[in-house]
């Protein structure tokens, strides 16, 4: 019975894992570096930027792993925007063509060290306006501010800094573990050990425990058993 | 000391392994859940901090600082407010944010300032006192370090709940496999792991109720000696000192005493001594609670047990309310007050499948559908087994009566609280899946009943598949939560 229990358990774990866990861990997902202005959930608005205008988001945190900026931006007609990031000791310039449906993802060169308060600007250089979705001011906890040509807007434009715009959950696990370790006292290697224990260690413990329990042992010392008759 | 070592040596390896599994599971949930993102964790941690630093509970209604300065710094520096209910938001894991919190943690007096208002202040202090010891055990750890250790205490409580579930199942079944099935269910159920990985008294309620059920069944089987009755009463008292949702444990204790009396009528002296012990403990506990809360405003549990105008209660409407929670509305029934919140939402999505963090981390609906089908099949199979083996059930009527009435009482109390809240104008049905945690081991009895009834080979296969399914579900749920906060 011990072997039957262990083999059945392992086969079931593999089968259920292939059915549910494999698609989960192979699904594509962006790897976030920071969320200076989060996406709207219940309350949203937009910022419209016309030809010649510049929209800026201040107070953006960047790290040496920041590789992409993602705005919930779109333009109904083909357009061109120029990106400029400025901060003490760090400058970046680039350009992009906004899609007809958000998001607009622009690759950047990562700074060498963490930057606390960068300003990210998009200048529109075409007749089609750029629309950025965001959260009305006062409905967000963000420290970042959005301005158009220096004037504060009623809506804070959503901005996400990404390490990777899309990779499988499994391949983004090292980044995920690094982020989780940053907010716990466990160093990264110990968090890895915990995860290995939770998967392989628990699997082994359950197989062992199940195998032992399948030996048809009684639950109590027989002296304490008051009821009579077999269970089955 | 030697007796303790001997007792530890007698712990079955399967139980030791399951307790380890539970603790590791809680540890993973501890890492996977961003700081203060457990259910009401912000308030529970503030309660612990206030109790640990000043020896006093916070106020429910007054005060200008709901949190200590270090906790407020963590909320602001890590962007934890922006995180709530927004699946796209992430905490700030930059080194600079962490350093800012640690600086605030070391500022003198930064921890004691959370005087209130705190909505959890009406809760009794037992769980918070336990967590306060963890708070003091990590004096140099900074806020995040203290939070981590406090969460580990919840993990230990989950491991304790697993041990009690094992012992309880040992009173119900005679073979090890169904016993293992019950304890594995408690150790692996995602909602149990998630509550074992955050600061929340629901995990302590689960441990206390499961201990109570074990002691109740044991007392009934072996006879109600004063020591056994005292232990059972103490477990009930512990549950009552953790949370007001444990109030139905009082009628459950009375049921246990009556059942123990009927089942052991041949020993009247033992029964009298046991009843006297329970009465004395209850009196002492009531007096101690009255003295402790003498200066506080409001009724029992900071007035949380008062659910509004009782005149609005209507038995017929309540019956219809409960019916529609589990089953479709019949013609002639008034629509159920409040939001659409029934068996599927509470039992399947929030409890058996699980919704996590601040009820915002969901599993795919297809997975909840699978869980629902599996739950209904297992319940139907367990019911069939009980009907087919009715003679065994009759033979062991004390177990059936105690488990059945305790479960029914706890569920009735939850429905009553929900009904009264809704008819008194609340938009919140006051019934979440985690409120079923006192019954977690009882719910584990359903698959174990099927395992116990099957022939040996089939039982082995059924137990192995069931444990594998809950294990895979737990991995999926923990992975989803980890990704929600940190991917």
Express each pLDDT in B204-250 by its tens digit.
999 999 999 999 999 999 988 889 999 999 999 999 999 999 999 99
| Percentage of chain B exceeding pLDDT 70 | 94
pLDDT for A152-203, tens place per residue?
999 999 999 999 999 999 999 999 999 999 999 999 999 999 999 999 999 9
How far apart are the C-alpha atoms of B183 and B161, rounded to whole Å? 9
Query: Using an 8 Å Cβ cutoff, are A186 and A198 in contact?
Result: no
B461 contact partners, CB below 8 Å, separation of at least 6? A4, A8
Angle at B485 between CA B479 and CA B487, to 5 degrees: 70
pLDDT for A103-134, tens place per residue?
999 999 999 999 988 999 999 988 889 999 99
Q: Among residues A35, A60, A55, which one has the least CA distance to residue A118?
A: A60
How far apart are the C-alpha atoms of B234 and B430, rounded to whole Å? 28
Residue A38 to residue B89, Cβ atoms within 8 A: yes
The model's confidence at residue B281, banded by pLDDT at 50, 70 and 90, is confident
Structure ipTM over 0.90, yes or no: yes
Q: What is the pLDDT of chain A when averaged over all its residues?
A: 90
Report pLDDT for A223: 41
Which strand ranges, in their side-by-side order, compose the sheet holding A146-148? A90-96, A81-87, A115-124, A54-62, A146-148, A151-152
How far apart are the C-alpha atoms of A178 and A173, rounded to whole Å? 8
**pLDDT > 70? residue A222:** no
**pLDDT > 60? residue A50:** yes
Range B429-455 average pLDDT = 96
Residue B480: both structure tokens together: 């989803």
Burial of residue A113 (number of CB atoms within 10 Å: 0-12, 13-18, 19+): exposed
Residues of A within 8 A of B396 (CB-CB) are 227
Residues of A within 8 A of B169 (CB-CB) are 219
Residues of B within 8 A of A17 (CB-CB) are 472, 475
Question: How many residues comprise chain A?
Answer: 232
Strand partners, A148: A55, A151
Query: Using an 8 Å Cβ cutoff, are B67 and B80 in contact?
Result: no
How far apart are the C-alpha atoms of B458 and B32, rounded to whole Å? 36
User: Does B425 or A111 have the greater pLDDT score?
Assistant: A111
Residue A232 to residue B28, Cβ atoms within 8 A: no
Report pLDDT for A232: 37
Tokens 């529609």 belong to which residue?
B324
Residue of chain A nearest B35, judged by CA positions? A183
How far apart are the C-alpha atoms of B51 and A81, rounded to whole Å? 55
Report pLDDT for A225: 42
How far apart are the C-alpha atoms of B152 and B155, rounded to whole Å? 5
Q: Which of A182, A209, A224 sits opposite B93 (nearest CB)?
A: A182
Q: What is the pLDDT of chain B when averaged over all its residues?
A: 91
Range B87-97 average pLDDT = 91
Residue of chain B nearest A228, judged by CA positions? B395
Strand partners, A71: A104, A159
**pLDDT > 80? residue B380:** yes
Residues of A within 8 A of B96 (CB-CB) are 114, 116
pTM for this entry:
0.93
Phi, psi values for residue A221, rounded to 5°: -65, 135
**pLDDT > 90? residue B251:** yes
Burial of residue A34 (number of CB atoms within 10 Å: 0-12, 13-18, 19+): buried
Angle in degrees, 0-180, between the axes of helices B13-32 and B456-486, rounded to the nearest 10: 20
B22, B92, B171, B177: which to substitute to probe chain A, counting the most A Cβ within 10 Å?
Answer: B177
Residues of A within 8 A of B93 (CB-CB) are 179, 182-183
């Amino acid at each position: 019975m011990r072997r039957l229990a262990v083999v059945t358990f392992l086969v079931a774990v593999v089968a259920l894992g292939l059915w549910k866990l494999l698609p989960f861990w192979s699904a594509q997902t962006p790897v976030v570096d920071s969320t200076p202005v989060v996406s709207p959930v219940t309350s949203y608005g937009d910022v419209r930027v016309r030809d010649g205008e510049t929209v800026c988001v201040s107070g953006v945190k960047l790290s040496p792993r920041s590789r992409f900026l993602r705005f919930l931006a779109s333009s109904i007609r083909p357009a061109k925007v120029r990106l400029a990031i400025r901060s003490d000791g760090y400058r970046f310039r680039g350009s992009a063509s906004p899609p007809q449906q958000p998001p607009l993802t622009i690759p950047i060169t990562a700074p060498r060290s963490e930057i606390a308060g960068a300003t990210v600007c998009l200048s529109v250089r075409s007749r089609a306006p750029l629309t950025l979705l965001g959260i009305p001011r006062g409905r967000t906890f963000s420290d970042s501010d959005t301005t158009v040509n220096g004037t504060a807007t009623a809506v804070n434009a959503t901005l996400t800094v990404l390490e990777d715009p899309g990779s499988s959950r499994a391949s983004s696990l090292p980044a995920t573990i690094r982020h989780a370790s940053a907010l716990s006292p466990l160093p990264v290697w110990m968090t890895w050990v915990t995860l290995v224990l939770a998967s392989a260690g628990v699997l082994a413990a359950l197989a062992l425990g199940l195998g032992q329990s399948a030996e048809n042992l009684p639950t109590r010392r027989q002296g304490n058993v008051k009821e009579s008759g077999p269970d089955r | 000391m030697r007796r303790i070592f001997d007792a530890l040596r007698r712990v079955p390896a399967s139980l030791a392994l399951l307790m380890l599994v539970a603790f590791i599971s809680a540890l993973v949930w501890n890492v996977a859940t961003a700081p203060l993102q457990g259910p009401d964790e912000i308030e529970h941690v503030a309660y612990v901090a206030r109790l640990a630093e000043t020896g006093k509970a916070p106020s429910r209604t007054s005060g200008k600082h709901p949190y200590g300065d270090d906790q407020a710094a963590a909320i602001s520096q890590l962007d934890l407010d922006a995180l709530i209910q927004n699946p796209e938001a992430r905490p700030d894991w930059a080194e600079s944010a962490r350093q800012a919190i640690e600086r605030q943690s070391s500022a003198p007096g930064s921890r004691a300032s959370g005087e209130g208002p705190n909505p959890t202040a009406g809760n009794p202090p037992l769980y918070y006192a336990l967590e306060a010891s963890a708070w003091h055990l990590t004096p140099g750890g900074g806020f995040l370090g203290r939070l981590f250790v406090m969460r580990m205490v919840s993990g230990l409580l989950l491991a304790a709940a697993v041990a009690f579930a094992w012992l309880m199942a040992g009173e119900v079944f005679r073979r090890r496999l169904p016993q293992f099935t019950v304890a594995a269910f408690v150790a692996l159920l995602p909602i149990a792991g998630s509550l074992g990985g955050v600061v929340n008294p629901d995990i302590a309620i689960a441990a206390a109720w499961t201990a109570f059920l074990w002691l109740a069944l044991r007392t009934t089987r072996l006879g109600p000696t004063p020591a056994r009755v005292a232990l059972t009463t103490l477990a009930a008292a512990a549950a009552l000192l953790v949370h007001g949702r444990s109030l139905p444990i009082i009628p459950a204790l009375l049921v246990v005493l009556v059942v123990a009396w009927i089942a052991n009528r041949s020993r009247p002296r033992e029964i009298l001594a046991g009843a006297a012990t329970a009465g004395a403990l209850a009196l002492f506990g009531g007096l101690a609670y009255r003295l402790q809360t003498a200066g506080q405003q409001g009724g029992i549990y900071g007035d949380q047990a008062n659910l509004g105008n009782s005149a609005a209660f209507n038995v017929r409407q309540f019956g219809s309310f409960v019916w529609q929670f589990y089953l479709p509305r019949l013609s002639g029934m008034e629509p159920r007050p409040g939001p659409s919140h029934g068996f599927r939402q509470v039992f399947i999505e929030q409890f058996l499948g699980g919704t996590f963090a601040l009820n915002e981390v969901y599993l795919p609906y297809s997975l909840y559908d699978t869980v629902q089908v599996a739950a209904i099949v297992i319940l139907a199979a367990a019911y069939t087994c009980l009907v087919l083996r009715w003679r065994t059930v009759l033979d062991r009527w004390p177990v059936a009566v105690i488990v059945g009435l305790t479960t029914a009482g706890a569920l009735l109390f939850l429905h009553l609280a929900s009904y009264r809240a809704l008819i008194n104008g609340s938009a919140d049905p006051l019934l979440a899946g985690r409120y079923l945690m006192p019954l977690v081991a009882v719910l584990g009895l359903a698959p174990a009943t099927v395992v116990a009834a099957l022939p040996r080979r089939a039982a082995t296969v059924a137990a192995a598949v069931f444990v594998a399914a809950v294990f895979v579900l737990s991995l999926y749920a923990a992975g989803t939560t980890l990704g929600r906060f940190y991917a």
